[in-house]
Amino acid sequence: MAVRIDGKAISAQAKAQVAEEVAALKEQGIRPGLAVVIVGDDPASRIYVNNKKKACEATGIYSEEYALPANTTQEDLLALINSLNKKPEVSGILVQSPLPEGLDEGAVVEAIDPQKDVDAFHAYNVGKIMQGSYTFLPCTPAGVIELIKSTGVEISGKQCVVIGRSDIVGKPMAMLLLHENGTVTICHSRTKNLPEICRTADILVSAVGRAHFVTEDMVKPGAVVIDVGMNRDENGKLCGDVEFEEVEPKAGYITPVPGGVGPMTIAMLMKNTVAAAKLQAAK
């Protein structure tokens, strides 16, 4: 039976460390601040934004929220980002996705000052991650690395399989595993012999966004299984990509959904906001 990786407990430890760092920075006159922009009234986005505000409160990070109507124009959104780029109280800027139809998400990301891009989505920061000389890491992949390390399993030399090739999780996840000296295979919708490839994985990360996608026959006995998926099953219940009840007896370690990767994403956002504050104070 797999050991469940407790994302809530590990994220609480990470946030406690951030809180200590924030307190020390404030003594030096540096106050980390996060601006969160939400456009429209997507219920899931609202939950995420509220959770980020709570994490800021818990860690002592100053926060601002900008809730814009769904009919906000691209011009108005870019003007807001430009003003936040210049605002000294704001160390980090996060624009909650998805944006309403008609807004160019790519242009919005590129408008954020790379030194305030705490999601690490800007092309500049993506390039730095490729080179391994980064200041910020994308929050979800960074959280996954922390969860894997919490197990005591060494990533170096291990076969790592990532299912999913999104710019937000799949691609940067593969790069971070590579930086830890893992041997990485990226799988996607066109991959042939997917179950066979997954069975080679000592570390299997699923970020495909399909409920019950990873079944027991795709998992190597004793593997570390990280479930990034956040889906609803046929009964409307929150679930991941992994068929948990099937896979848990076979894996060595496994993350539950909820309570696995999700809390770590927010903890890493807090960490990035502190890193941004330090970077700007050093200018």
Catalytic positions are 52, 96, 119
Distance CA 184, CA 30 (A): 39
Residue 223 backbone phi and psi in degrees, to 5: -70, 155
Burial of 117 (0-12, 13-18, 19+ CB in 10 A): buried
Question: Are the C-beta atoms of 31 and 57 separated by less than 8 Å?
Answer: no
* 251 CB-near residues (< 8 Å, 6+ apart): 2, 219, 222, 223, 224, 225
Question: Are the C-beta atoms of 103 and 93 separated by less than 8 Å?
Answer: no
